[in-house]
Structure 1
Amino acid sequence: MENTLPAEALDASFDLVARQDAADAALGALRSDVEEVKSRLERVSRAAARPALSGAAQPSPELKGFVDGYLRFGREAELKSVSGAVLADGGFAVPREIDAMIAAQLKAISPIRAIAQIVQTGTAGYRKLVSTGGTASGWVSEVAARPETNTAKFSEIAPPMGELYANPSATQAMLDDVDFDLEAWLASEIATEFARAEGAAFITGSGTNQPLGFLSAPTATTGDASRAFGTLQFLGSGHASGFDTAPELKLIDLVHALKSGHRQGATFVMNSKTLAAVRKFKTADGAFLWQPGLLEGQPARLLGYPVIEAEDMPDVAANAYPIAFGNFRNGYLIAERKVTTILRDPFTNKPFVNFYATKRVGGQVLDSDAIKLLRIEA
């Protein structure tokens, strides 16, 4: 006799199986949700263990990896490349965020860098050609012979290069402190040291393992037409130890010793002590030569030209050059490597960690007709 179940029993059995499958699926989804919540709680817990500075912006993942992995713990697997490539392709290089900050602060501190011509080089063997004599021409009649005219001459500029360095340090305890703004501190320390050294070298550098400052270039009293290339022209002040009785006339002569093309964009450069004396100069009718800036952010002017304060310029003294006037964008060239490198040294000076930063910088007078000097002499 055939054994069969009623239709109602079969339907109930199928319904029970379907409910069991649905329950299993719901349980699996719940387990997945639990695992996700657990993972989020773990991430929050790890973040809470190292709280961020109050009000500080969250750093980029690349910068955070560089700071936590290399500067703080010295893990070489987390070196950051200045090129912006992956971490494994790095080197001992400052991250892009810090390098950009250094450049901005250098312009604010080193005035010659802000007004000179800057080129980025790939090697220390940078060269530049300067045309020292244009092609000549002449007038002839329609059928006259055309004799040969002079051709242009060139001189080579090779700015002396030197390695600029800074070596700030911090204790390991400071690096471990979560409230310590490592990026701002490192950038400020390096920028201050670089600006101090550059500001002096661009003005008075000897050219030996450092830039050749424009005050270290040869000087002469002859004009542009007969003076040797690379030699700066100077004018005397009319007094052996200072300015004569009509100093404003000497400054006017200094301005107009510069070619008119260079006067477009020219600047006075002097230190604050010399500037204090110059601000007291008056014309014959009693008006001050000094003109303060009319708007915020505009430089003060002397005879209509901006004045830049550079503390590395010499004071007023016998045979000194306390005042320079010229178009430094055309007259002085700064050549530098693009990359600022930084080496973390936790071993040499325990318990301090040194950050040895270096950068190659060079400089030299580019066009000697574009800069004029005032010399203190009778």
Structure 2
Amino acid sequence: MSVVDRPVLAGASPLAQNAAFAGFVRTGATLEMKAFTGVTGDAGGFAVPREIDAQIDTLLKGISPIRSIANVVKVGSAGYRKLVTTGGTPSGWAAENAARPETASPVFVEIAPPTGELYANPSASQAMLDDAAFDVEEWLAGEIAMEFAKAEGAAFVSGSGVSRPKGFLTSATAATADGVRAFGTLQYLASGTAGDFSANPQERLIDLVQSLRGPYRQGASFVMNAATLARIRKFKTTDGAFVWAPSLAAGVPATLLGYPVVEAEDMPDIAANALAIAFGNFRAGYIIAERTETGILRDPYSNKPFVNFYATKRVGGCVTNSEAIKLMKFSVA
């Protein structure tokens, strides 16, 4: 089968597609995947059409846990800005015939999520593409989805914000309450013991829940890794009941103190001064800005006899509302 006969990306003619394959566009700084040949037993696939791009998004939501609970917006350019008001619009009381003096104007803060470019660059021999007895489209979608999810999942939690999203754990933190902390600073509550829970861990978890204002608790979730969750699932109340409530129906998540728990393996283990547990409404507190489509280039020229498939996706993220996410710090104070 000739190159012209292979599927083209949506909106592109075969001639335009071949011209695009002459070289790579800008690369990010995240991922690489090795070459695939018939000798090694691995496989390659066709360039990804629009239908497979939707499949990648579905897999990402299932693999990257923060994506499933955060506010995900589609953008058409590299830059994205969001305005947030920090104090609302002040008001006042007046008698029926009294003057109405001017009140203060609301204060705005501009949020610009740091962005980076995820990339994957698998390759396959032309012989493998011609002879492979497997679904190459499904293979390519799965490979890209797994690698992209692995990288972005870590970035949403602890990303530095340099050429990648800024994770919520890398935001500034303080023990002060809402209305006192500087904008963008997350509040943490101490566990009471360095590197461990205090004598009454259930009470500390309740304090963490109640530190979040009522409107944000609607739709809030716990976020922690599996090791931390294993510790918490063993906690019991004074009457011997587990604080963890297992799910009794398919599709209904298990709960902790009435709130679902999201397992994110990129969260740190319990250790001295570790921010190992997060609780909050991530849809209100964390934003993910991404380009609407995954870009795929098929390049059969640069690395003969291999065909390179270069996939890129621009993704950004940061905390947008520092009152909507609370952290537990495993420290004395």
Normalization by structure 1: what TM-score? Answer: 0.77
Cα drift, residue 346 of structure 1: 3.5
Partner SS, residue 310 of structure 2: strand
Distance in 1 of aligned mates of 2:236 and 2:15? 64
Task: Tell me how far 1:348 sits from its aligned partner.
Answer: 4.8
The amino acid across from 2:242 in the alignment is F
**Which 10-residue stretch deviates more, 88-97 or 130-139?**
88-97
CA distance in 2, matches of 1:285, 1:89: 71
**In 2, are the aligned partners of 1:79 and 1:88 still within 8 Å (CA)?**
no
Tell me the number of residue pairs that the alignment of Structure 1 and Structure 2 aligns.
305
**Counterparts of residues 72-111 of structure 1 (less than 5 Å):** 73-75=2-4, 80-83=8-11, 94-111=48-65
Partner Cα separation in structure 2 for residue 346 and residue 314 of structure 1: 42
Aligned amino acid, residue 300 of structure 1? A
Q: Deviations over 1:112-141 (max 9, x none)?
A: 111100111111111110111111112222
Per-residue CA deviations over 1:270-313 (Å, capped at 9, x if unaligned) read 00011000101111222111011110121110000000001000
Bigger share in strand? 2
Cα distance in structure 1, aligned partners of 2:84 and 2:16: 39
2:62 aligned partner, one-letter code: A
Does structure 1 residue 355 correspond to structure 2 residue 309? yes
Decide whether the 8 Å contact of 1:115 with 1:329 is kept in 2: yes
Contact 1:78–1:88 (Cα < 8 Å) also in 2: no
Structure-1 residue corresponding to 2:76: 122
Specify the alignment match of 1:365 in structure 2. Answer: 319
Q: CA deviation at 1:196?
A: 0.4
- Asked if 1:163 is matched to 2:117, the reply is yes
Structure 2: distance between partners of 1:119 and 1:339: 12
Amino acid at match of 1:166: A
Q: Counterpart of 1:140?
A: 94
Q: Quick check: 2:74–2:290 contact (8 Å CA) kept in 1?
A: yes
Do structure 1's residue 317 and structure 2's residue 317 form an aligned pair?
no
Query: How far 1:168 moved relative to its partner?
Result: 2.0
Q: What is the alpha-carbon distance in structure 1 between the residues aligned to residue 139 and residue 306 of structure 2? A: 15
Structure-1 separation of matches of 2:10 and 2:314 = 16
Alpha-carbon shift at residue 349 of structure 1 (Å): 4.7
State which drifts further: 314-323 or 334-343.
Answer: 334-343
2:224 to 252, 259, 270: 270
- Other structure's SS at 1:183 match: helix
Distance in 2 between residues matched to 1:375 and 1:313, nearest whole Å: 12
Q: Is the 8 A contact 1:82 1:339 kept in 2?
A: no
Unpaired stretches in structure 1, ≥5 consecutive residues: 1-67
- Indicate which of 283, 287, 296 corresponds to 1:333: 287
Question: How far, CA to CA, are the matches of 2:213 and 2:310 in structure 1?
Answer: 44
Instruction: Give yes or no for contact 1:203–1:214 (8 Å, CA) kept in 2.
Output: yes
Give the SS at the match of 2:161.
coil
Matched, 1:346 2:274: no
Worse-superposed segment, 342-351 or 197-206: 342-351
SS for the counterpart of 2:195 is: coil
Residue equivalent to 2:169 = 215
Q: How does 1:182-221 map to 2 (within 5 A)?
A: 182-221=136-175
Tell me the secondary structure at the aligned position of residue 129 of structure 1.
strand
SS of 1:322's equivalent in the other structure is: strand
Please state how far the C-alpha of 1:95 moved relative to its aligned partner. Answer: 0.9
Paired position in structure 1 for 2:205: 251
Q: State the alpha-carbon separation in 2 of the partners of residues 297 and 174 from structure 1.
A: 40
1 or 2 for the larger relative contact order (CA 8 Å, sep ≥6)?
2
CA contact (8 A) 1:222 1:233 kept: yes
Q: Which one-letter code corresponds to 1:278 in the other structure?
A: I
Structure index of larger Rg: 1
- The counterpart of 1:374, out of the listed 325, 328, 331, is 328
Aligned to 1:240: 194
Match of 1:149 in 2: 103
Kept in 2, the 8 Å contact 1:122–1:338? The answer is yes
Give the AA of the match of 2:223: V
Q: Tell me by how many angstroms 1:178 deviates.
A: 5.1
Indicate if the aligned counterparts of 2:74 and 2:291 stay in contact, CA closer than 8 A: yes
RMSD across aligned positions (CA):
1.8
Alignment gaps of 5+ in structure 2: 22-46
1:81 CA drift (Å): 2.9
Equivalent pair of 1:174/1:180 in contact (CA under 8 Å): no
CA deviations over 1:61-88 (Å, ceiling 9, x no partner): xxxxxxx6xxxx433x8662335x6656
Asked if the contact 2:48/2:141 (under 8 Å) is kept, the reply is: no
Aligned match of 2:258:
304
Aligned partner of 1:231 in structure 2 is 185
Name the counterpart of 2:133: 179
